[in-house]
Amino acid sequence: MGKPHEQLDAWKFSMELTKAVYQMTATFPAEERYGLSQQMRRAAVSIPSNIAEGAGRNGAKEFLNFIGISRGSLAELETQLQLAVMLGFAAPNHPAFEMANSAGKLLTGLHKKMRTT
């Protein structure tokens, strides 16, 4: 059996979102390697990382805090995705956009579940 966070759909899906962001940013111009590309990757990595850290903490209150951090990182990533389109680095129909939307729904569901625990 894996770690508790590995059983969470929000964690699993945000790992896939992170992979999509890495694939997207690999196509960005070289001068963005330490700019928007790096910021997007960090925001994406933060989402499943904070879910995992929260799941490893003691109790629902701490977990809720880390879910909140994950949600903030997702909002940051969504803004950066929009910037990538505005700058011509990504297509507006890239799968990462819908994945980010779905990740938000999963995080909201997990947050609601933990609030009632």
78-97 pLDDT, tens digit per residue, is: 999 999 999 999 999 999 99
Calculate the dihedral angle through the C-alpha atoms of 33, 38, 16, 2, rounding to the nearest 10 degrees.
120
Q: Assess whether pLDDT exceeds 80 at residue 5.
A: yes
Q: With CA atoms as reference, report the closest residue to 63 among 2, 13, 113, 6.
A: 113
Q: In order of start, what are the domains of the chain with their CATH numbers?
A: 4-115 (1.20.1440.60)
pLDDT at 3: 78
Average pLDDT over residues 40-50: 99
Calculate the dihedral angle through the C-alpha atoms of 88, 79, 23, 18, rounding to the nearest 10 degrees.
180
Q: With CA atoms as reference, report the closest residue to 35 among 83, 69, 72.
A: 83
Average pLDDT over residues 18-28: 98
